[in-house]
Structure 1
Amino acid sequence: MIADVLTEAAARMDRAVESAKEDFATVRTGRANPQLFQRVLVDYYGSPTPLAQLASVGNPEARTVVITPYDKSALKAIEDAIRDMPNLGANPTNDGALVRVTMPELTAERRKEYVKLVRSKGEDHKVHLRGIRRKVKDELDALTGEVSDDDIARAEKELDALTRTHVDAIDEALKRKEAELLEV
Structure 2
Amino acid sequence: MISDVLADTATRMDRAVDGAKDDFATVRTGRANPQLFQKIPVDYYGSPTPLAQLASLNNTEARTIVITPYDKSALKAIEQAIRDTPNLGANPTNDGTIVRVSMPELTEERRKEYVKLVRTKGEDAKVHVRGIRRKAKDDLDALKSDVGEDEVARAEKELDSITKAHVDLIDEALKRKEAELLEV
- Specify the alignment match of 1:92 in structure 2: 92
- Specify the alignment match of 2:117 in structure 1: 117
Residue 100 of structure 2 aligns to a residue whose secondary structure is strand
1:65-144 matches, within 5 Å, as 65-144=65-144
**CA-to-partner distance for each residue in 1:87-113, whole Å, 9 max, x for gaps?**
100111111110011000000000000
- Partners of 1:6 and 1:173 lie apart in 2 by 23
- Partners of 2:122 and 2:170 lie apart in 1 by 7
- Partners of 1:140 and 1:86 lie apart in 2 by 43
- Partners of 1:59 and 1:38 lie apart in 2 by 13
1:1-184 matches, within 5 Å, as 1-184=1-184
- Partners of 1:52 and 1:38 lie apart in 2 by 5
- Partners of 2:47 and 2:107 lie apart in 1 by 36
1:84 deviates by: 1.1
- Partners of 2:70 and 2:122 lie apart in 1 by 35
1:47 deviates by: 1.0
- Partners of 1:38 and 1:26 lie apart in 2 by 8
- Partners of 2:147 and 2:110 lie apart in 1 by 54
1:37 deviates by: 0.8
- Partners of 2:73 and 2:88 lie apart in 1 by 24
Query: Identity, % of aligned pairs?
Result: 79
Residue 67 of structure 2 aligns to a residue whose secondary structure is strand
- Partners of 2:45 and 2:85 lie apart in 1 by 19
Give the gaps of 5 or more residues in structure 2.
none
- Partners of 1:86 and 1:132 lie apart in 2 by 31
The alignment covers a number of residue pairs equal to 184
1:49 deviates by: 1.2
Residue 92 of structure 1 aligns to a residue whose secondary structure is strand
- Partners of 2:38 and 2:133 lie apart in 1 by 29
- Partners of 2:15 and 2:53 lie apart in 1 by 23
**CA-to-partner distance for each residue in 1:14-43, whole Å, 9 max, x for gaps?**
000000000000000000000001211111
- Partners of 2:45 and 2:60 lie apart in 1 by 29
